[in-house]
Each structure stands twice: as C-alpha cells, then as structure tokens.
Amino acid sequence: MKKQFVTYKIALKMKKLGFDEKCDALYNAPNNFLIEGLWNTKNSVIDTMTNAPKVVCSAPLWQQAIDWFFEKYKIAILYSPQKDILEIDILRAIKSIKN
C-alpha cells in the first residue's frame, strides 16, 4: 500500500511549499511510513524515549499531490503508473516553483 503514497522526499518538499491537507498516512522519519488515520503536518508525534516531538510529514496519495499542485500552483502533472516517472515530474514541478 505504501506505493500509493508519495515518497518521503516529495512529502517533505511539499510540506515546505505549504502542503497541509489531511492524509491517511505520514512519515515521522525518512524510512518510517505510518498509516494511522487522518494526519496533517500540524499533528505531532511524541518520541516516547525523549518526550520530544518528532518531525512529522503527511504522506499524500500520488493523486492528492497531483491535485494539490494544480489547485495551488496551476501546474498540471499527468498521472503515470510508473512511479519513477511521476516522481520526476513532481520534482520538476517543485523546482519550477522554487525558481
């Protein structure tokens, strides 16, 4: 099921661009993907060892990311079943926003 969600790299970049929609999954570390109900980037996860909040990054579905880029930035990204192509297209969109 993890394949249905954007990568941590994309999720983190989207968060920096202002993405804060509710998602069914999140990353609380680069390789720690969780499906735990509805999350957004304002939610925090507490580290039980240190009582410190962990970095939380909501993990949108690929289609949710495509829709968000179009709604917020008017950037159209075509869905591709090949995730590597889709990831490249989204990273290009992110780069165009930063320039």
Q: How confident is the model at residue 93 (pLDDT cuts 50, 70, 90)?
A: very high
Q: Rounded distance, CA 91 to CA 87, Å? A: 6
Q: How confident is the model at residue 94 (pLDDT cuts 50, 70, 90)?
A: very high
Which is it for the CA torsion 17, 18, 24, 26, positive or negative?
Answer: positive
Query: What digits encode the pLDDT tens for the residues 67-84?
Result: 999 999 999 999 999 999
The radius of gyration of the chain from alpha carbons, rounded to an integer in Å, stands at 14
- Judge whether residue 43 has pLDDT over 60: no
Query: pTM score, two decimals?
Result: 0.81
Q: How confident is the model at residue 47 (pLDDT cuts 50, 70, 90)?
A: low
